[in-house]
Every structure is written in C-alpha cells, then in structure tokens.
C-alpha cells in the first residue's frame, strides 16, 4: 500500500509538468509486473486509450545475448481493435553500466467485430541504455512498423529518449520524449511511464 500511495503522489506531481503545451500530446502509462506476467494501461490527457496483458518465457543465453520470447494480447479503445503480438527480445551488456537491446515482433491487429479480417505488422526496434548509478539512467530507442499485408508498406516509426528513475526497488518512473517519424504527423510527445514490480 505504501508503494502504491508513493507512486500515486509522484505521478500526480509529474503530471502537472507533463501537460506542458510545448508538446503535441502527452501520454501516461502504468505497468505492473509479477514474475513473468505484466499488465499495462495507457492514457492520454483525456481518457484511457488501451490496455494489454503479456508474458515472457523461454529465456536463454546465446553467444553473450540474453534472449526471450514474449506474447501479448491488447485492446485499443479508440479503434475498438484487438492486437495479438509475439516478439523475440535480445539484450547484451557493454561494460558494467551500458546495455544494448532489441526486439523483433509480429503483430496481428483486427477489429473486434471481425477477428478474421485483420492485418499483420512487423515491428523491429533497437535501443541503448546507460545506468548513471543505482537510481538514474537514460536510454535512446528507435523503432519502425511495416504492414505485411499491404506490400510491406511503411506505417511509420518513432524515436524515444527517456530517463528512468528508480523511486524504490519496486517502483520506476520514466519520463521520455517520443518523436513520431514518417507517419504523416511527426508529432513530438511527452510520455510518463510508471512500472511496478511485485
């Protein structure tokens, strides 16, 4: 309960900064992880936008890379769409404080009214993180999406820079800046993510 209250208070304070008019949109996310299972909800400034549940398994180490697979089932409230995602994760350390990571995912997205009439998307991403100390870090990440059912048409991508802060051993707050690229909008958003580990 103390962890939840501390997180709620911290989120409330940070939200007042995150809604600055300097950005095109602001988003907020909460992820709770228990063992291999995680549950996430995301909002914008006005409403809940989506939620998902996922699980990681088949963890192994191969030629210096920590690898695993992850499955996820999500729902987009704005589009009334269901998404099923499978991804391979890879992480390797560089020195004692830096990490290089990447994912490659296949996602099936379909309207809730017709589960057979959806599209498959390819979503690779790669990132680099650095821990300044046990409390504060930084990361940079880039990802892109292709529609596999539309002649591999480019959907768009993103660039993200963030600064994770370990409030406690079980709570991490991460403000980040996200730039949409090659999607016809190219907005710059401020995101605030809170992760809870149980």
Q: Using alpha carbons, select from 69, 19, 29, 64 the residue that is nearest to residue 49.
A: 29
So what's the pLDDT on residue 8?
45
Q: Over pLDDT 70: what percentage of the chain?
A: 88
Strand partners, 193: 29, 174
pLDDT digits 0-9 by tens, 34-72: 999 999 999 988 889 999 999 999 999 988 899 999 999
Assess whether pLDDT exceeds 80 at residue 18: no
Residue 110 zone, left/alpha/beta (φ > 0; ψ -120 to 50; rest):
beta
Q: Compute the average pLDDT of residues 112-136.
A: 92
Answer positive or negative: Cα dihedral of 6, 41, 46, 187.
positive
The phi and psi torsions of 5 (rounded to 5 degrees) equal -65, -40
So what's the pLDDT on residue 23?
63
What's this model's pTM, rounded to 2 decimal places? Answer: 0.82
* Residue whose entry in the numeric block shows the structure tokens 């994770």: 164
Assess whether pLDDT exceeds 80 at residue 164: yes
User: Could you tell me the CA-to-CA distances from 195 to 100, 156, 186 in Å, in that order?
Assistant: 20, 26, 27
Eight-class DSSP state of 185: -
| Structural domain count, the chain | 1
pLDDT digits 0-9 by tens, 73-92: 999 998 899 999 999 999 99
User: Could you tell me the CA-to-CA distances from 87 to 17, 108, 121, 189 in Å, in that order?
Assistant: 33, 12, 12, 25
Token pair, residue 135, equals 């409390």
* Residue whose entry in the numeric block shows the structure tokens 């304070």: 13
Assess whether pLDDT exceeds 50 at residue 130: yes
Assess whether pLDDT exceeds 90 at residue 137: yes
So what's the pLDDT on residue 2?
44
Assess whether pLDDT exceeds 60 at residue 184: yes
Return the number of other C-beta atoms located less than 10 Å from residue 182's C-beta: 13
Tell me the CATH number at 104: 2.40.160.40
Token pair, residue 155, equals 């959907």
Range of the domain at 108: 2-197
Spatial distance between the Cα atoms of 139 and 170, rounded to a whole number of angstroms? 19
So what's the pLDDT on residue 21?
55
So what's the pLDDT on residue 24?
67
Spatial distance between the Cα atoms of 49 and 158, rounded to a whole number of angstroms? 18
């Amino acid at each position: 309960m103390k962890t939840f209250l501390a997180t709620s208070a911290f989120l409330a304070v940070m939200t007042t900064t995150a809604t600055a008019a300097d950005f095109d949109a602001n988003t907020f996310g909460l992820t709770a992880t228990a063992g291999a299972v995680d549950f996430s909800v995301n909002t914008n400034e006005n409403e809940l936008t989506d939620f998902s549940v996922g699980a990681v398994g088949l963890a192994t180490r191969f030629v210096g890379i920590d690898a695993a697979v992850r499955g996820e089932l999500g729902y987009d409230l704005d589009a009334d769409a269901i998404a099923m995602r499978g991804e391979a994760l890879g992480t390797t350390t560089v020195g004692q404080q830096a990490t290089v990571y990447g994912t490659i995912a296949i996602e099936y997205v379909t309207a809730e009214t017709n589960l057979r009439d959806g599209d498959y998307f390819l979503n690779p991403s790669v990132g680099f993180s650095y821990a300044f100390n046990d409390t504060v870090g930084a990361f940079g990440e880039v990802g892109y999406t292709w529609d596999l059912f539309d002649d591999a048409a480019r959907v768009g991508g993103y660039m993200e820079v963030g600064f994770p802060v370990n409030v406690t051993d079980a709570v991490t707050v991460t403000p980040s800046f996200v730039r949409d690229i090659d999607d016809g909008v190219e907005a710059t958003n401020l995101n605030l993510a809170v992760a809870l580990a149980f």
